[in-house]
Structure 1
Amino acid sequence: MQQIGRRIRALRLLRDYTQEHLADSLGIGQSAYCKIERGQTDIRVSQLRQIAAILGVCVTEFFKENNKDADNQLVKWGGVNVG
């Protein structure tokens, strides 16, 4: 779960979205959304689909080992570890 959360976080930051924006779009609280990014809660497939749609990616992007968006994010945000 942590890898998926890190990928979501990297893609969110790449698009300059706030955690609050994604939480509101998902209809959940910001603290619940933070747990998703930290891998501290199970995430439903329906939520993954919603997050993917908001971020403009396919759900499979969250599971890829080599993710160019995430790799670019490392450079842009000074070494954020996305896995």
Structure 2
Amino acid sequence: MIQQPEIKIKQIRELKNLTQEHIANQLGLSVRAYSKIETGETQLTINRLNEISKILGIDPIEVLGFDERQIFNNCKQDGYIGINHISASEKLVQQYEETIQSLKEQILLLKLLMDK
């Protein structure tokens, strides 16, 4: 069972800096009618999910599987709520850096061969 797809839609919309008004206009709805979708007052249909997903520029399956914890690490310390972006693992960064270096070397070699 997919839990709270309306909240996932709201989170993605906010991450993309889109307003409820923008989405509502694209759907041909009033802002209040669209707001009811995000609050769960109006049941989200598959067709409506497809329309909203298209406006958000994201696949409907990605909307349903969206997990804000993959994007942000919310922490609360001494009454302060902060948001920290999760960084890529060191191993992944190292793999990318090695790939970039290898590609740079290949480009250099190809340039030398073209000059001959």
- Do they fold alike, i.e. is TM over 0.5? yes
Unaligned segments of structure 2, at least 5 residues: 75-81, 84-116
Identical-residue share of aligned pairs (%): 35
Relative contact order higher in (CA < 8 Å, ≥ 6 apart): 1
Map 1:1-83 to 2 at 5 A.
Answer: 3-64=4-65, 67=67, 70-71=68-69, 72=71
How many angstroms apart in 2 are the aligned matches of 1:28 and 1:45?
A: 17
Whether the 8 Å contact between 1:52 and 1:58 is mirrored in structure 2 is yes
The number of residue pairs the alignment matches comes to 74
Rg larger in structure = 2
CA drift of 1:53 comes to: 0.7
User: 1:74–1:45: structure 2 CA closer, same or farther, 3 Å change rule?
Assistant: farther
* Residue identity opposite 1:7 in structure 2: K
Higher normalized strand content (fraction of residues):
2
Structure-1-length-normalised TM-score: 0.75
Structure-2-length-normalised TM-score: 0.55
